[in-house]
Structure 1
Amino acid sequence: MKISTLLGGALVASASTAAAIAVPDIHAKRQSQFLLTTGVQNNGIQTRVELRTMRTQNPDQFNLYMLALREFMSVTQTDPLSYYQIAGIHGRPYSAWGGWTSQAGPGGYGGGYCTHVSNIFLPWHRPYLALYEQQLYSHVQNVANSFPAASRARWQAAAANFRMPYWDWAVVPTCQGCQVFPEFVSSAYISVTSPTGQQTVVNPLYRYDFHPIVPSDMAYNPFASWVTTLRYPTSWQSNAVSQDPGVTSQIASNQPNFKQRLYNLFTNYNNFNQFSNEAWIANSGVQGADSLESLHDSLHTITGSNGHMTYLDYSSFDPIFWLHHTNIDRIWAMWSTINPNTYVQQANAQKPTYTYPAGTSLDATSGLAPFNKNTQGLLYTSNDVSSTTSFGYVYPETANGASAASVRAAVNSLYGSGVPTGRRLKRDSDASDWHYIANIVSQKTQLNGSYAVYVFLGEPDADALTWPTAANLVGTHGVAANFADADNDQLAAMDVPVTGTVPLTTALQDKVAAGELADTGVQSVSAYLLQRLVWKVAKYDGTVVPAANVPDLSVSVVAAEVMPAASPDDFPTWSPYVSLANVTAGQDGGHDDAWWGM
């Protein structure tokens, strides 16, 4: 099968106002015992640590992690608890797992079990990660127990409190020579101490080897013919190979903007539904266009760079998926400690999943299929998973009785002006500063696959493959999507507007420092951006999509006054955003009152 061709034309559609439909029955086959999702239990509450921290501060545990992940990946793909089948819950192959079926029949309503553009996007992934972690933990114990008797106690001690690590892609690495995209993730081989001695092996963080590739599970070429997961593939031919150095440079180029977006989310978002997912919210105007899901999309698409991670259906087969999503879970846990009184509110499903059709009314009591909390097949709900401790873990920032104040202090230190090696987002004075953001809305599914909106100060080179690392790039807004089904092209007509942002403040401050901009006042910045702000859209193979052909694309600049925090454990105070509609109005993909109002 071939991937469908690009869907051209501006398929303009208004935000959906359709009435909710009833939650369908989620059927389970009768069986003696359901597969349980428990996380790691019976050894206390342990801390998930950052990947580089595990490697440098607990090298024995990192070594076991490498060996156990290799063992996990080697489990036969027909085993429901194999790496392959657990990865397949997320997207392809759109099939039942653990006994759960769909009322829609084989293939479900369209998609894997994962809920994207949804109020339960974050809660669904928590038991998913817990299921993965409990299996990985069992392999860690097995590997530790396989070492010779003389050294076994050492490895068992390292294994006892294992929890899977996360990859913090927003922080500036403090270790000497470290990169934002860790070099030991992008290396094809890694040295390990095995029960039989020192070995150099294929790095399990670099790729997953299908054994075998099942073309019908993957549906489309080249994914149906690639025998390993790939990042930034050299082509879409069956003999393509990864180009991880290209991913390294793109992540490094975008890291300052990732950090700004994350800091803005922590300091200026206090409603769960707005913070958590990228669905456009009717009548929201210029307020709250970003979300953790939108930022998550950018990391997905850039890390894959037209490989598995770029497309939601295939992303979970790449081992970096689990490190990325563990960080997303961590960010949610930190944000929830700061904002404990807001959680899942009712909303209609924007996209179909294996178990839920689009339009289903979902809330905190909706089942998170296919994750069972008991042997009778009772599903977890969002209400069951609001705390990480129910699955046996915490994060460094949420451990030891963390409070809202302590987490705010950690956020300021990691991502705000308190980072000595980072860029400052506000002045050292009591006066407020103006912050500037490019709000972006577009249709998620109507370009037949993932794409990116690149924001520049000045015109970029004509070659779109140079855009992700261009010197004048301000930031990348990635939209992670799937491919249209050749037999049922519902994605082309699906009305799923999503939003995100590219912060402009740091880039503008750099222009002031360089003497290209007089100051960061609204009048000066508006005039400067009117002349210099440029946005371009491309698919991840370098195909340029004219802005006029991107369904419902609208880029609009907003500004807010930000008052510095009063103390290290407090956040800056934001005024309501004001629209600078004139900066982009009248241009293809520019300001549109239908989305942003006036």
Structure 2
Amino acid sequence: MGLSHSSNYHSSHVRSVVTSEPVIAETFPDLYPRLDILDFYGNETYRPQFDLFIQSYQSFYDHTYEDMRSYYQVSGIHGLPYTPYDGVTGGEHEYNNQSEWEKGRWGGYCHHGDVLFGPWHRPYMLLFESLLVKEAKRIALQYPDNEKEKYVEAAKQLRHPYWDWADEETLKGVPELFLTSEIEINTPQGKKKVKNPLQSYTLPVDLSHPLGEGHNPTDKPHYKVPSRRHVPFTPAGYPTIRYPNSNYEDQNDVLNRNVSVYVSTVFRPGLYQMFHISDYLHFSNHGVRSNNKQTANSLFPGHPSPLKVVGTSHFASIETVHDTLHLIVGGLGGHMAYADIAAFDPMFYFHHVNVDRLFALWQEVFPDSWIQQNIDLNGTFTEEMYTKIDEHTDLTPFRKTETEFWKSSDIRYIEKLGYTYPQVTMFKGQDPKTLQAYLLKLYKPDPYHRRRFFVKLTVESGKLIGPYAIRVFVDLKNATTQTPVTSPHFAGLVAMWRGTKHSHANNNTFVVGTVDITAAMERLGIRSQTYDVSQEVNDTTGLMNSTSIFDIDEDIKIVPVFLDGKGVSPKEAGVNMIEVFSFEHDKVDKNFLVENTGQYYGSKEF
């Protein structure tokens, strides 16, 4: 969470008492696709939808902040201000800002680090989308008679687009639509340039609380990003931000540079691994552990025990890749980098619609794998820590009706909700392996290397306060936090998005992530053929060929780094062990991620 040690943590403006009818996350009566933002923006076919989309976002913003259907209130569901949304509380189990935080309980409604990560965010996006479409339908009726029919139909078909941040187009950086301050659209009053609502959202009330002198946006032009121990303060009237400078302005050049670097080093390799994972527990989140059974000593099943060598098994969940995008888009001081305030940046919704898309595609590839009973380790606003959860757990605060909440069992099939995705439609009814082959080709980090090399990191959670990343460098023993990620030695990272430190939180639980180091090895000319012990002995001398041995101490450097650029040792960052292994992806069983079918090169403990 990255919380400060303050009991007065929530916004000074709590949600008002609900006086209107309950807010329901409504399904759509007709089925239409959520589109790629690169196809949606600038395509004349979807121009009427786009015109409505931009106006609807602004209209969403313009609702009074006390309105439960306002952007402020809906965004506040995820994290801050840690107060009831639409009257939904946990009763006697409701989050208490002081005592519960000290126990390590998460104060927002969102699920992270458990099997409901994907399912919980699905009705969240549905609620946001349904409210947005209602705005669009209202605006469509305001167009002149000669355009009204076209816009009414566009509103009917409108669904929230996604940003595929692992697409090769993202090598160029973030789509311009998120960066420009103005945009031209056709409104009911004709064509005009309007303020672009997708660039930022201006807070109507204070978010979080003021920090020390120099660390608040009001201190610009001498603004200094606060310590990682504190969630940044956003005063009323100030916008959300990405990579803020001393004048509290976006640094889009830094944003674009970082995003473009991580497309090939983290996003594509992460998804490539993810679409090999056939077990929901492995796929669903970054917080599972031990094995596939729940026992007194194994509350968080999902992957092999991090406390013993497990050969070549490895793991890349949808949440692990999701976490990295948050860190990379927000940057030091940016809203997206902090779970407590991320949902106030409009880019959050494009990101999470894409996460839902990846979830839906994975379901199509592995249709028989689904939620098993698990434990909510972190707790939420309505659920205590260590509560048992399953597909029948209420996904609060999202109402299905006035008296019922959505459950994972209700939202398993997206078509029943009134939306789909182009690639889901494209492969519907075909052999799941056909879709899997398409996705593996789509996200394969590069097309040239059948044998891929990985570094697997096992990281104890809860060791540090604040989001941080664990960078992996190849063949650069003196790499430091100052070594740029543009270095040819940089291979990728594992993101620790919700790093918190509480005496009782996240006890003995781990995050496991892998970094594909193949491309870095190729750039550096490091041998990448199969390890074969019969070829490692020099026939003349009878000695081992030193160039053939993968030395983890010499060849792999682990560099934990906070958003502010400061670093700590791997042990201080919770790194328990690193392992190196390889697979021939095009030959092994598709379930290779949980089987010892690759080549193991050893491990190092910290």
TM-score for both structures, normalised by structure 2? 0.80
In the other structure, the counterpart of 2:321 is 295
Q: Separation in 2 of the partners of 1:32 and 1:305? A: 38
Inter-CA distance 55–506: structure 2 relative to 1 (3 Å threshold): same
* Alpha-carbon contact 1:351-1:496 (below 8 Å) kept: no
Structure 2 counterparts to residues 416-427 of structure 1, below 5 A = 416=444, 423-424=446-447, 426=449
Tell me what 1:209 maps to.
202
Q: Does 1:265 align with 2:282?
A: no
Query: In the alignment, which of 374, 382, 385 is matched to residue 408 of structure 2?
Result: 382
Are positions 1:350 and 2:367 aligned together? no
Asked if the contact 2:207–2:233 (Cα under 8 Å) also holds between the matched residues in 1, the reply is no
Q: Is 1:365 equivalent to 2:392 in the alignment?
A: yes
Q: Aligned to 2:23, which of 15, 31, 35?
A: 35
Q: From the superposition, tell whether residues 320 and 525 of structure 1 become closer, same or farther in structure 2 (CA, over 3 Å).
A: farther
Q: Name the CA distance, whole Å, in 1 between partners of 2:549 and 2:134.
A: 57
Residues 90-144 of structure 1 deviation map (CA, whole Å, 9 limit, x = unaligned): 1111111122112234547532011100011111111111001100111122222
One of 487, 493, 500 as aligned partner of 1:476: 493
Query: Structure 1 counterpart of 2:393, which letter?
Result: S
Cα distance change, pair 447–577 in 1 and its aligned pair in 2 (3 A): farther
Aligned residue for 2:573? 550
Query: What is aligned with 1:80?
Result: 68
Aligned-residue identity in percent: 27
Larger CA deviation: 395-404 vs 161-170: 395-404
Answer whether contact 2:471 2:559 (CA < 8 A) is retained. yes
Q: Give the match for residue 11 of structure 2.
A: none
Give the distance between the partners of 1:553 and 1:463, measured in 2 at CA: 19
Distance 2:273 2:548 in 1: 20
Offset from partner CA, 1:310-368 (integer Å, 9 cap, x none): 11111111111111111111111111111111101111112121112221111111111
Measured after TM superposition, the shift of residue 309 of structure 1 is 0.7
Aligned equivalent of 1:222: 232
TM-aligned CA deviation for residue 449 of structure 1: 1.1
Cα separation, 2, equivalents of 1:32 and 1:155: 29
Structure 1 equivalent of residue 86 of structure 2: 98
Unaligned segments of structure 2, at least 5 residues: 6-16, 212-228, 292-303, 305-309, 533-546
In structure 2, distance between residues paired with 1:528 and 1:167: 39
1:199 alignment partner in structure 2: 192
Q: Which residue, 123, 141, 144 being the options, matches 2:140? A: 144
- Aligned with residue 318 of structure 1, among 345, 348, 371: 345
Q: Once the two structures are superposed, what CA deviation does each residue of 1:122-167 show, in whole Å capped at 9, x if it has no partner?
A: 1111111100110011112222222233332332232220100011
Give the match for residue 163 of structure 1. Answer: 159
Kept in 1, the 8 Å contact 2:521–2:527? The answer is no
- The equivalent of 1:179 in structure 2 is 172
Contact 1:137 1:162 in 2 (8 A): yes
Query: Closer, same or farther in 2 for the Cα pair 1:556/1:133, shift >3 Å?
Result: same
Deviations 1:428-474 (A, max 9, x none): xxxxx432211122233331110001111243887736634334211
SS across alignment from 1:469? coil
Q: Which runs of 5+ in 1 are unaligned?
A: 6-28, 417-421, 427-432, 586-590, 593-598
For residue 240 of structure 1, report the CA deviation from its aligned partner: 1.6
Contact kept, 8 Å, 1:302 with 1:478, in 2: the verdict is no
Separation (CA, whole Å) in 2 of partners of 1:374 and 1:217: 39
Alignment of 1:328 with 2:394, yes or no, is no
- Once residues 527 and 230 of structure 2 are traced to their aligned partners in structure 1, the CA distance between those partners, rounded to angstroms, is 52
Which of 439, 442, 453 lines up with 1:414 in the alignment?
442
| Cα distance change of structure 1 residues 562 and 136 upon mapping to structure 2, 3 Å threshold | same
* Count of aligned residue pairs for this structure pair: 529
Partner of 1:122: 118
Aligned-residue offset at 1:554: 2.7
| Paired AA for residue 346 in structure 1 | Q
Which residue of structure 2 aligns with residue 576 of structure 1? 596
- The CA RMSD measured in Å over matched residues stands at 3.0
Please say if residues 451 and 528 of structure 2, whose CA atoms lie closer than 8 Å, have aligned partners that are also in contact: no
> 1:242 and 2:254 equivalent?
no
User: The residue matched to 1:558 in structure 2 has which SS?
Assistant: strand
Q: Name the structure 2 match of 1:341.
A: 368
Q: TM-score, normalised by structure 1?
A: 0.81
> 1:352/1:3 Cα in 2 relative to 1: closer, same or farther (>3 Å)?
closer
CA distance in 1, matches of 2:79, 2:599: 38
Amino acid at match of 1:410: Y
Alpha-carbon separation, structure 2, partners of 1:117 and 1:491? 16
**Does the C-alpha gap of structure 1 residues 194 and 443 become closer, same or farther in structure 2, counting only changes over 3 Å?**
farther
Instruction: Work out whether residues 461 and 506 of structure 2, in 8 Å CA contact, stay in contact via their aligned partners in 1.
Output: no
- Give, in angstroms, the shift of residue 409 of structure 1: 4.2
Conservation of the 8 A alpha-carbon contact between 1:93 and 1:217:
no
Amino acid in the other structure paired with 2:191: Q
2:560 is paired with a residue whose SS is strand
Native 8 Å contact 1:460 1:470 kept in 2 = no
CA separation of 1:179 and 1:38: change in aligned 2, threshold 3 A: same
Please report how far the alpha carbon of residue 545 of structure 1 lies from its aligned counterpart in structure 2 after TM superposition: 1.8
Change (3 A) 1:113 1:221: closer
Matched, 1:395 2:421: yes
Equivalent residues in 2 for 1:507-586, closer than 5 Å: 507-511=520-524, 516-522=525-531, 526-527=549-550, 530-564=553-587, 576-577=596-597, 580=600, 582=602, 585=604
Deviations 1:212-232 (A, max 9, x none): 334459996632437211111
Tell me the distance in 1 between the aligned counterparts of 2:60 and 2:586: 50
Residues 493, 330 of structure 1: alpha-carbon distance in 2 compared, 3 angstrom cutoff: closer
